[in-house]
Amino acid sequence: MSQNRLCLVISVATATATSGLQMRTDAAGNGLSPPPAFTPYWTAHVPNKTNESYGYPLLAPDQVVHTYVYEASPSFGEYNHGPMISFWDGVYWMEWYNGVQYEGVENRVLYATSKDAITWSKPAVMFNTTGKTGLENEPHLEIDGRRYAVGGSWDVFARTGGGSEHTGPDTAMLRRVYSATTLGPVCWLGKEVPAGYEQFNYPVCSDAAKVDAQTVADAAAYVAALLDLEPVSDYGKPNERVLYELPGSDRRRLIMMLRSGESHVGHAMLASTCELETGAEPDPPPPNETMHFCRPGTGLYNAGLVGDRMPQNGQQQQQLQQQRERRQQEGKEEGGSGSEDGKGGQPQPPWPGYHPVPVGRHCNWTTPVVTNVPDSHSRACTAPLPDGRIFLIGAQIPKTRDPIVLSLSSDGLNFDRAWAVRVNAPPPKYNGYPGFQYPAAMWKLDGPRGPEIIFSYSVNKEDIALSRVPLSVLD
């Protein structure tokens, strides 16, 4: 494994306006017109299969360190995917979903911990499979210093159609994490236990008779902070969105980029934008000055958290609850049409029996448009760096998932520089899908090697690995 050469792609943006831009051609040589306002665009090297890095320059070997967190084995699961790295209470955490051989109904959620992000503990189970449907890990949740793990079936992500992978309950599970070895009980975030899942004896998180008062309050605050995503639920791959706040905007403008869906577009990302409803957004939490995490796979239970910590105090939560009750009442008075007509009604459910989680915040999302940001149909992740630039980690190449790509933008829109960090994934050992995939990331100013960005990913959907790059490399 040490012989594998590494390549991660980083792009940095400098322009601050979209009007009058002369866009590069796409990979096929077609001319591209200026993008709509507040739409991300790519002016960096256009990836092409001229070499193993798709034409991106490679970072020097002394600029990146790679570590394997877990290497797949038949004894504990050959399938491992979707790792998300974070740091809490002096410990690095890695959570991912794991299966016997394939992505499927037996999937469960595992975690491992480390003091230095180099030597990792043996994996342990965070959420056992619910039997009838496989689980995926959602990003961790931190409220006033309290950590929670979130796990959900594929149906949590509000995609239409269903199918064999998407037959589970439309709610997620929450679990308090006290330490690396002490976990709280599991509870459902929905209003009631999903039908057919009573045998697991998990209560709903609002059940004060079975759930401690702090978890009840935190679960309610979490749901109240969720952001309405129904207007864009039919576009792209809804469990693989990235969400960030546009740097320097006077109002809280959000940008969402979506993994391309084969039925909508080929190898480019989609994008949507909105301004948060006036009065619906509490003041953002104080900046975490030493670290920050991106939150990949923006599904229902991740959508409202545009950062690594969630704001919570009594006045803010009361305001969110009043906003939600007002919209519910307006929808009732107008007949609850369920259309995007500004009257407060919920959109029509995407399939029979779907019950969307009540959300505390509303945003008037634009119809997603096709960008020229390359995408090979994989998950991505995004967040701000300490200096305010936005980074995007994904597979910004025409096809395959090798190399993995890290892009940066100083204005949140224009991506204009790029490097390759890891190429040449080893061949799968079992039944995996080749490549470096489904990345997540965090940066930390006081890491073991100084200020650095750490990103996690699966190797062939079998092994869990991470790579570390000093932030100075991005200057």
Is residue 164 helix, strand or coil?
Answer: coil
* Residue located via tokens 């759930």: 211
Q: What is the pLDDT of residue 166?
A: 45
Q: What is the pLDDT of residue 221?
A: 82
Q: What is the pLDDT of residue 277?
A: 61
Query: 33 exposed, middle or buried (CB, 10 Å; 0-12, 13-18, 19+)?
Result: exposed
**Domain membership flag for residue 13:** yes
**Domain membership flag for residue 332:** yes
CA 330, 332, 333, 337 torsion-angle sign: positive
Instruction: State which residues form the domain around 121.
Output: 8-474
**Domain membership flag for residue 120:** yes
Q: What is the pLDDT of residue 175?
A: 96
**Domain membership flag for residue 2:** no
Query: 266 exposed, middle or buried (CB, 10 Å; 0-12, 13-18, 19+)?
Result: middle
DSSP 324: H
Q: What is the pLDDT of residue 191?
A: 83
Q: What is the pLDDT of residue 345?
A: 31
**Domain membership flag for residue 340:** yes
**Domain membership flag for residue 1:** no
Phi first, then psi, for residue 319 (nearest 5°) are -65, -45
Beta carbons of 159 and 239 less than 8 angstroms apart: yes
Domain total in the chain: 1
The whole-angstrom separation of Cα 256 and Cα 278 is: 19
Q: Which residues of the chain have pLDDT under 70?
A: 1-34, 131-133, 153-170, 228-240, 249-251, 260-266, 276-289, 291, 297-361
**Domain membership flag for residue 3:** no
Query: 25 exposed, middle or buried (CB, 10 Å; 0-12, 13-18, 19+)?
Result: exposed
| CA dist 277 → 36, 107, 202, 326, 360 (Å) | 21, 38, 35, 13, 11
**Domain membership flag for residue 139:** yes
Residue 284's CATH number: 2.120.10
Beta carbons of 474 and 443 less than 8 angstroms apart: no
Cis omega (within 30 of 0) on the bond before 403?
Answer: yes
Q: What is the pLDDT of residue 229?
A: 66
Q: What is the pLDDT of residue 344?
A: 29
